[in-house]
Amino acid sequence: MFSRLIGNDVTKLTLRRLIHQDRLPNSLLFIGPDGVGKKQFAIETARTLFCRQRVGDEACGVCSSCVRTGTFSPPTSEKKDDYKRIHFSENPDLGFVVPFKRNILVDAIRVLELEANFNPYEAPARVFIVDDADLMNDAAANALLKTLEEPPVTTHIILVTSRPDVLLPTIHSRCQKIHFAPVERKAIEKYLIEERAFSHDEARLAAGVAHGSIGRAVEIDVGEYRGMRERAVRVLRSALIDGDRAALLKISEELNDAKNADNFEANLGVLESVVRDVWRLACGVETAKLLDPEMADTYLRFAEQAAAARFAEWLGEIEDLRKALSVNINKKVATDSLFLTMAAGKR
């Protein structure tokens, strides 16, 4: 049921109304940040369309159609050929295009084109979900254009993406766009406590640093996060207060040793969250509005050490390092350089 999904209440209302009034467009593009539940909304759209005994404008959630529509096991095969087709949920009217190694294969889109023309098996409509639609190359996208332009009346194609700028303008122009926003922190917090057995403290921290992504929030291991945060705090203390370059180089070594290498990006993300909070305090934001309010006292001390502009520069440097990770850089050298730049403004 839409009411069970977290956040994006306006979008929820829009979709329910469109389905209820029988006006759901046949080509849809769901746009929004990662981890806010776009794919869940797409599945719920199919479920509501298919449900045999809707309750108001909601799927009942218990009829055979509802149960089967919501049951989908993504393929785990390593064989390319297995991704040249549509994967169906237990309801043969809901199909998914699944990427192979971060590529949506043109063959899968060709099969989608065929399938889109078939009548529904049992439901009043068929729905095809292309998650991470930005993983279509031009050939795949072009193969989809015709179907998007004139889909059969009983077929709905839902493209889902967090990188809409990567999609061809011709895809955009053929779809009705449905926008998703980051999920409110309070809603994530409530979900973590009620559905994921987080303690209040843990939920507050995870919801704060998840930047509106439920997907990210549920994956945060709070104990591990606090460990990474402790290290990030040492970086700021050494750079801002002690001016201790040797200590910084030692932390850089730690981050890049065999034990921590796999967590390099996660550590960088935590450092970024910490600097972001300090920067916000330096800009005059109230402590209650921090991503991580439990650290307010420590962060206030840091914020007093420099102007907001310096912390903004650090955020830029961290972002540059993050981008550089996609090419094969020497992480140790890059981390040394980041930390020494952070210490350089020390008066």
Can you give the binding site for Zn ion, defined by CB under 5 A?
Answer: 51, 59-60, 63, 66
Tokens of 161: 């993406």
**Residue 4 or 200 having the CB closest to Zn ion:** 4
Using CB atoms within 10 Å of the CB of residue 62, give its burial: 0 to 12 exposed, 13 to 18 middle, 19+ buried.
exposed
How far apart are alpha carbons 185 and 41 in whole angstroms? 19
**Residue 63 or 181 having the CB closest to Zn ion:** 63
* Nearest approach, Cβ of residue 97 and Zn ion (Å): 25
**Residue 63 or 340 having the CB closest to Zn ion:** 63
* Nearest approach, Cβ of residue 59 and Zn ion (Å): 5
Residues in a beta bridge with 127: 94, 156
Residues in a beta bridge with 149: none
* Nearest approach, Cβ of residue 91 and Zn ion (Å): 11
**Residue 60 or 315 having the CB closest to Zn ion:** 60
CB 39 within 8 A of CB 213: no
**Residue 28 or 51 having the CB closest to Zn ion:** 51
**Residue 63 or 143 having the CB closest to Zn ion:** 63
* Nearest approach, Cβ of residue 46 and Zn ion (Å): 11
* Nearest approach, Cβ of residue 2 and Zn ion (Å): 13
**Residue 65 or 155 having the CB closest to Zn ion:** 65
* Nearest approach, Cβ of residue 21 and Zn ion (Å): 19
Tokens of 248: 């910084």
**Residue 59 or 207 having the CB closest to Zn ion:** 59
* Nearest approach, Cβ of residue 135 and Zn ion (Å): 31
**Residue 67 or 218 having the CB closest to Zn ion:** 67
* Nearest approach, Cβ of residue 19 and Zn ion (Å): 13
* Nearest approach, Cβ of residue 212 and Zn ion (Å): 30
SS3 per-residue string spanning the chain: CHHHCCCCHHHHHHHHHHHHCCCCCCEEEEECCCCCCHHHHHHHHHHHHHCCCCECCECCCCCHHHHHHCCCCCCCCCCHHHHCCCEECCCCCEEEECCECCEECHHHHHHHHHHHCCCCCCCCCEEEEECCHHHECHHHHHHHHHHHHCCCCCEEEEEEECCHHHCCHHHHHHCEEEECCCCCHHHHHHHHHHHHCCCHHHHHHHHHHCCCCHHHHHHCCHHHHHHHHHHHHHHHHHHHHHCCHHHHHHHHHHHHCCCCHHHHHHHHHHHHHHHHHHHHHHCCCCHHHCCCHHHHHHHHHHHCCCCHHHHHHHHHHHHHHHHHCCCCCCHHHHHHHHHHHHHHCCC
